[in-house]
Amino acid sequence: MRCPYCQKADNKVVDSRSVDDDRGIRRRRECLGCGRRFTTFETVEQMPLMVLKHNGTSQVFDRNKLLNGLIRSCDKRDISLEDIMSLAHEVENEIHRLYDQEVPSKAIGEVALEHLKEFDEVAYIRFASVYRRFTDIDSFRSELDTLLDKK
């Protein structure tokens, strides 16, 4: 690692810390040439997860799309943004555990629904109504009955 100030390659690590839920390491370094300190970050390089859409196309997984859907399903509920972001993180982690490079869009919705079922039942029904494209009251009632039967 070259010093960004004097460009010398001789430096020592002064401090190391885990960052981003143990997904990376932050290292504080001191240049042995000029004595100045700088910070570096080390993370595992991952291949982007590709989402296979219903129409056959694919696109890079976008955590913000998942987060926006979860936020909309939790709208006007007494749920903090921090809790919703934590939920999105859990869903994303499970998707990465289950799929290496490609994930069907349907699987993302199913994983999100499983987590929402335990998180908040109203948010679950709201997310399901959009994700499963409820067209009438019977499909809505069927999902409610399924949820109530599992209790």
CB 112 within 8 A of CB 69: yes
Which tens digit of pLDDT belongs to each residue from 32-62?
A: 999 999 999 998 777 789 999 989 999 999 9
Instruction: Tabulate helix, strand, coil % of the chain (nearest 5).
Output: 45, 20, 35
H or E segment to which residue 56 belongs? none
Rounded to the nearest angstrom, the gap between the alpha carbon of residue 93 and the centroid of all alpha carbons in its chain is 6
Which tens digit of pLDDT belongs to each residue from 102-135?
A: 999 999 999 999 999 889 989 988 898 888 777 7
Q: So what's the pLDDT on residue 151?
A: 66
H or E segment to which residue 15 belongs? strand 11-19
DSSP, residue by residue, 74-126: TTTSS--HHHHHHHHHHHHHHHHHH-SSEEEHHHHHHHHHHHHHHH-HHHHHH
Determine the Cα–Cα distance for residues 28 and 50; give it in Å rounded to an integer.
Answer: 34
73 SS3 class: helix
Residue 73 has pLDDT above 90, yes or no: yes
| Mean per-residue pLDDT, 142-150 | 77
Domain spans in the chain, listed from the N-terminal domain onward: 11-43, 50-149
